Amino acid sequence: MNTTTTISGVFAAAVTPLNGDGTLDISGIEQLTDFLANRGCHGILYLGTTGEGPSFSPQERAKIFQAATRARESHPSLKLLAGTGTPSLDETILLTHLAFELEFDGVVVLPPYYFRKVSDEGLFSWFDVLLRKAVPSDGRLLAYNIPPITGIGFSLELLARLKHTHPGTFAGIKDSSGNPDFAIQLGQTFGTDLLVLTGNDKLFSLALENQASGCITAMANLYSPILRSVWDAFQEGVDATEYQELLSATRTVLDSYPPMPPLLKAMLHHLHHFPYWPVKLPLIPLPEAIIPQILASLPQITS
């Protein structure tokens, strides 16, 4: 594990609370932040895939980041990450600047996902400009590797080049590829020189065994204590198999009801008594008729 970085441990890829009319529920952001901070999360990513990041305007994103910053005042050790990637380099620079102005600990950046056949040279140049123009010397950027959504992956060669060119500010990768071989290759290639946070609950233990620094997952909205149990067991050098099997079984159920944002908002309501937050179009709410089926399928977890 990379013990030198402060961006490590269990991070929740937070949902984004909304009012019934689709406007931001600012008090809900503060409520959710308190909830996650008190359930074992080392940090929170706002406006990732689970947070429906690309569905929000820059103005809405700014309000979300500001609300998260205020909520962190009650939890000074909580780390904040901001999803700032868009297909527009200029807009990504603007959002990344804002996140660091608000003292976020890092940004998680999607590749420019409209042109899916872009070369590694094009991707390197895009991130090179972003890092030079928007990331301060004490800031940290993680590439967001989620090819099932973006259609674009990060090669080991591209990651190595970005790390070599920007050794301080290009911190690493949020790997949501779901590929166990890639998780192993990351550890074998970079060791602890590259910060790796897995985005797949099923691969959490495997990633930690291969030098990852933690996780950023959707399931942490609901089950962060179980993720924290895996993390703590790994730090203590004890067997985490029981907790990992529980995570994997639960993730298998949740993956059967895509997409994740409406599912998680429904489960947060039914399991943890949050308001039933809507989702942004083109997503639609989970059909009420299947909610009892989902609840009955989930492993019985007391936390």
Count of alpha carbons within 13 Å of 106, Cβ hemisphere only?
28
27-62 per-position pLDDT tens digit: 999 999 999 999 999 999 999 999 999 999 999 999
Residues 6+ apart with CB under 8 A from 101: none
Is 202's pLDDT higher than 50?
A: yes
Question: What pLDDT is stored for residue 250 in this prediction?
Answer: 96
109-157 per-position pLDDT tens digit: 999 999 989 999 999 999 999 999 999 999 999 999 999 999 999 999 9
Q: Which residues are catalytic?
A: 49, 114, 144, 174
Amino acid identity at 215: C
Beta-bridge mates of residue 236: none
69-85 per-position pLDDT tens digit: 999 999 999 999 999 99
Backbone angles phi, psi at 83, to 5 degrees: -80, 115
Q: Is the CA virtual torsion 298, 231, 77, 68 positive or negative?
A: negative
**Nearest C-alpha neighbor of 295 from the set 262, 272, 258, 267:** 267
181-200 per-position pLDDT tens digit: 999 999 999 999 999 999 99
Is 4's pLDDT higher than 50?
A: no
Beta-bridge mates of residue 107: 82, 141
Is 303's pLDDT higher than 70?
A: no
Cα–Cα distance, 216 to 198 (Å, whole number): 6
Residues 6+ apart with CB under 8 A from 172: 142, 143, 159, 163, 194, 195, 196, 197, 213
Cα–Cα distance, 14 to 4 (Å, whole number): 25
Q: Is the CA virtual torsion 118, 120, 126, 130 positive or negative?
A: positive
Question: What pLDDT is stored for residue 159 in this prediction?
Answer: 98
Average pLDDT over residues 284-288: 95
Cα–Cα distance, 102 to 84 (Å, whole number): 13
Question: What pLDDT is stored for residue 120 in this prediction?
Answer: 96
Question: What pLDDT is stored for residue 300 in this prediction?
Answer: 79
Question: What pLDDT is stored for residue 1 in this prediction?
Answer: 33
Ordered by where they begin, the domains of the chain are 9-240 (3.20.20.70)
Cα–Cα distance, 52 to 235 (Å, whole number): 32
HEC profile of 191-223: CCCCEEEECCHHHHHHHHHCCCCEEEECCHHHH
Tokens representing residue 88 in the block: 């527009």
Q: Residue 2: which pLDDT band, with cuts at 50, 70 and 90?
A: very low
Rounded to the nearest integer, the mean pLDDT of the chain is: 95
Cα 296 to Cα 202, 253, 300: the distances in Å are 21, 10, 9
222-257 per-position pLDDT tens digit: 999 999 999 999 999 999 999 999 999 999 999 999
Question: What pLDDT is stored for residue 6 in this prediction?
Answer: 80
Cα–Cα distance, 268 to 247 (Å, whole number): 17
Tell me the pairing of strands 9-13 and 141-145: unpaired
Average pLDDT over residues 94-107: 98
